[in-house]
Amino acid sequence: MPVNIPADDALRRLQDGNRRFATDTRNADNLSSLTRRALMVGQQPFAIILGCSDSRVPAEIIFDQGLGDLFVIRVGGNIVAPSQIGSVEFAADQFGTRLVVVLGHSQCGVVTATLKELQAPDHMHSRNLRSIVDRVRPSLEGLLKTDLVHDPDALLREAVRANVRVSANQLRHGSEVLERLIDRDGLHVVGAEYSLESGLVDFFDGVYGS
- Nearest distance, CB of residue 114 and Zn ion, angstroms: 11
- Shortest Cβ 79–Zn ion spacing (Å): 10
| Residue 57 contacts residue 194 (beta carbons within 8 Å) | yes
Nearer to Zn ion, 112 or 169 (CB): 112
**Which residue number, 54 or 205, has a Cβ lying nearer to Zn ion?**
54
18 φ, ψ to 5°? Answer: -65, -35
Smaller CB distance to Zn ion: residue 70 or 110?
A: 110
CB of 198 to Zn ion, least distance (A): 17
CA distance 135 to 143: 15
> Measured from the CB of residue 210, what is the shortest distance to Zn ion in angstroms?
22
With contact defined as beta carbons under 8 Å apart, do 97 and 46 qualify? yes
Closer by beta carbon to Zn ion, 91 or else 132: 132
Identity of the residue, 54 or 117, whose beta carbon is nearer to Zn ion in the bound complex: 54
The whole-angstrom separation of Cα 201 and Cα 178 is: 24
Q: Which of 82, 92, 80, 94 is nearest to 181 (CA)?
A: 92
Which residues are paired to 51 by β-bridges?
A: 74, 103
Q: Which residues bind Zn ion (CB under 5 A)?
A: 52, 54, 108
Smallest distance from Zn ion to CB 54, Å: 4
The Cα 5–Cα 84 span in angstroms is 22
Alpha carbon of residue 46 to chain centroid = 14
Q: Which of 107, 100, 108, 62 is nearest to 84 (CA)?
A: 100
